[in-house]
Chain A
């Protein structure tokens, strides 16, 4: 709660750093230069009040989930965000789960065959994935799979010109989802791979793993049931830290692929100086980050009963 409060103050301060105010922007958009009109607008928007009063009004509106009207789209901010959020959530969840799974497998492979060619290959791949900007991955994928191979659609979330049944719609969205999700995921694949490799190397040298081996359990069983499970804990902590950077990556990926989500909405809002919309997105994405971290704390206590939430 305190954190959310500080986030609000920060955002409010940031917007008052901007030269000009909302009234100027609106006046610019309707091309009015009559000073009396702009003054009237300021009064209507409450911009003639002292800053603390403006801030109090702002907090009161936020608490009732009223983020005001977006003046670029002329729709309430909250409904714009609600409309775009599912697409971003779908993209983020697919990307992060994919990255998690891939990182787990790659990291385990690298740790088990430490120092051999498989380890070297995985480690080099992780380094390159880590260093490649998401938008570059996106452009590269489009070049290969759309322009050269013609396998996958270049942008959007589904084709609009055909009548969809429920099943064909799901398939169509999945086809559109592959490339954006992969672009967004690669960076995190690198992080999870390195993390999993380090955790597995540490765990594989522990006594209980040696005991399991000495009991004569099959190597695959020891690795997956005994070692990998415990190596997952640090990975899940990482997941919580990553949500907010994932939202940032979504801005770039959604712009490259024309994915109709929050990230592209944020970009449009910023470009058109649609301040209520920018604020709404910043605030709600912060709320989302906090919620995900709460859920992860709960998962953590399930996975490791020794951890108690205070």
Chain B
């Protein structure tokens, strides 16, 4: 059975993929369905979901359409999640590859640096970075990347340590291949499986962190993310709890989908390992 079919035959992967597709469509459709953006006051405030036609999810304390916020928020959350995961992946794989491949003092130095980053409470570090460099989409992405690369670095290092001694790597050395070429074209492709699985968890955690930051009011003031919506709805949640439930549900479902996807990938990639 091919990788694709094995992957889709697992129900968790299929559900995860479906949910993610919905969120992606929401993100893409946001500017088409709600071209006026999420900030405009569209109707009277505190309309409950389903109360008025054309406002299926109701309005918030300032009469803004919650559905518009949800769609545009999908864009922001997905973008921040993907970008910061990509940045963390790049940095983590680089550090882990160098440490694992070369060993010795390079390994020692890089791993102590990784230890230090893992010792500082990550969310706290993210808050400090965002506040010090001023909240914007870019700094949030950088802050999330800064707290999530160490896990990837450890994983990549373990893979490189293992593969460094493999026979095919030894034969590459024998024919005179350079270090850079061995790392990039030989070991890296072979160590991608566990890293790809972790990447989906990385995106999920990035979305959670972003939601936490903007819930605390540390999001980019120019964009609305799901976390921002929860934070804004919090002051009125006693009476209008849908203000928190709708964006909160979106966060939960998206993070859930990414985790299911990770599980599915893990199963699909592992059977290949077993069969070998």
The answer to whether the Cβ of A228 comes within 8 Å of any Cβ in the partner chain is: no
- Assuming the contacts A136-B244, A267-B216, asked whether A281 and B124 have C-beta atoms less than 8 A apart, the reply is yes
A149 close to chain B: CB less than 8 A: no
| Chain A at the B interface: SS class | helix
B112 and A252 contacting across the interface, CB-CB below 8 Å: no
> Whole-angstrom distance from the CB of A122 to the nearest CB of chain B?
15
Query: Do A127 and B259 have beta carbons less than 8 Å apart?
Result: yes
B residues 175-227 near A (Cβ < 8 Å) are 204, 208, 211-212, 215-216, 227
Q: Is A14 an interface residue (CB 8 A)?
A: yes
What mask results when residues 95 to 139 of chain B are scored 1 for a CB within 8 Å of chain A, else 0?
Answer: 000000000000000001101111111111111110111100000
Measured CB to CB, the nearest residue on chain B to A285 is B121
Size category of the B interface is 35 or more
- List 28 A–B pairs whose Cβ atoms lie within 8 Å, in order of A's numbering: A3-B112, A3-B115, A6-B112, A6-B115, A10-B117, A128-B256, A130-B256, A131-B253, A131-B255, A131-B256, A132-B251, A133-B248, A135-B212, A136-B248, A136-B252, A140-B248, A143-B238, A143-B241, A244-B120, A244-B121, A251-B123, A252-B212, A267-B127, A278-B128, A281-B124, A282-B128, A286-B120, A289-B119
A128 to B115, CA, bound (A): 30
Using Cβ atoms and an 8 Å threshold, which residues of chain B touch A267? 127, 216
> Hey, what's the 0/1 contact readout for B233-244 against A, CB within 8 Å counting as 1?
010011001001
Which residues of B approach A to under 8 Å, CB–CB? 112-113, 115-129, 131-134, 204, 208, 211-212, 215-216, 227, 230, 234, 237-238, 241, 244, 248, 251-253, 255-256, 259-260
Please determine whether A131 and B204 come into contact, CB atoms closer than 8 angstroms.
Answer: yes
Q: Are B119 and A7 in contact (CB under 8 A)?
A: yes
Cα–Cα, bound, A275→B251 (Å)? 32
Q: Is the CB of A15 within 8 A of B132?
A: yes
Q: Could you say which residues of chain B place their CB within 8 Å of the CB of A245?
A: 121-123
> Which of B115, B119, B244, B251 gathers the greatest number of chain A CB atoms within 10 Å?
B119
- B125, A282: Cβ atoms under 8 Å? yes
B112 interface neighbour in A2, A17, A251, A271, Cβ under 8 Å: A2
Distance between Cα atoms of A255 and B132 in the complex (Å): 20
Within 8 A of B (CB), among A103-144: 127-128, 130-136, 139-140, 142-143
Q: When A3-B112, A135-B215, A252-B215 are in contact, do A143 and B251 touch as well, CB less than 8 Å?
A: no
Give the Cβ gap from B219 to chain A, nearest Cβ, in Å.
Answer: 13
Closest to B218 in A: A270
Given contacts A7-B116, A136-B244, 5 further A-B contacts (CB under 8 A): A15-B132, A132-B248, A132-B252, A285-B120, A289-B119
Question: Shortest CB–CB separation between residue B77 and chain A, in angstroms?
Answer: 12
Measured between beta carbons, the chain A residues less than 8 angstroms from B244 are 136, 139-140
